Amino acid sequence: MEEVSTQLRTFLTDLTEAFGFDSDVTIDDSEEDTLVGKIEGQHGLLVGPKGRTLDAVQELARISCQRATPSSIRIKVDVGGYRQQRTEALSAFALAAAENAITNATEVALDPMSAADRKVIHDALNETEGVETRSVGTEPRRKVLVVPVATDEDAAVDDAVSDEVEGTDVNGNGQDEVESNEDLESAASGDES
């Protein structure tokens, strides 16, 4: 793991110098079988729109490390805490979409996003009562649907209502109060039998 860490630090340091940035590069090995290369500072050029450039830098770092020292260690790269900020923003967005889906009882389709961003959405709503998530479409236009579902509480209310409705006619009368068709016909014709 030390060899991979050294290779990752060298790659990221060389990259930041090539861009003309004077930034510290640290390697976090606190996650099991994962190294996170962190570039300090706010460098939008290395992040790019929606983190696409950062994803490309991460892929290049992974390839560089794999070629230098083949291993099964996962490589992640972050610039100025962008990934954590993005995760927090996506989680808040996911919760707002879930609230919208529940309130309006309709599916909410999110914009197409990367697999990593979709995973954040799924994880954020995994424990949220009343919605489920599904990925639909094909890359690169794959997106998440936030779908309202009946909760246990909703199911209990529905069961109680259907138990109450069962045994009543269309006018809300209990079945023991409903007259037969013959009784209704004779009453309509004025016959009293």
Residue 22 and residue 73 share a domain: yes
DSSP state, 33?
T
C-alpha–C-alpha distance, residues 67 and 53, integer Å: 21
Residues 5-56 pLDDT 10s = 999 999 999 999 998 988 899 999 988 899 999 999 888 889 998 888 999 9
Q: Are residues 98 and 74 in the same domain?
A: no
Q: Which residue has the higher pLDDT, 177 or 72?
A: 72
Tell me the angle at which helices 82-104 and 115-125 cross, rounded to the nearest 10 degrees: 60
Q: 39 by DSSP, 3-state: which?
A: strand
Q: What tens digit of pLDDT does each residue of 106-127 get?
A: 999 999 998 889 999 999 999 8
| Predicted model pTM | 0.66
Q: Looking at the structure, do residues 70 and 11 belong to the same domain, yes or no?
A: yes
- The range of the structural domain enclosing residue 69 comes to 2-80
Shared-domain flag, residues 71 and 113: no
Residue 53 lies in a domain: yes
Query: In the beta sheet, which residues pair with residue 74?
Result: 34
Number of domains the chain contains: 2
Handedness of CA 170, 171, 174, 176 (dihedral sign): negative
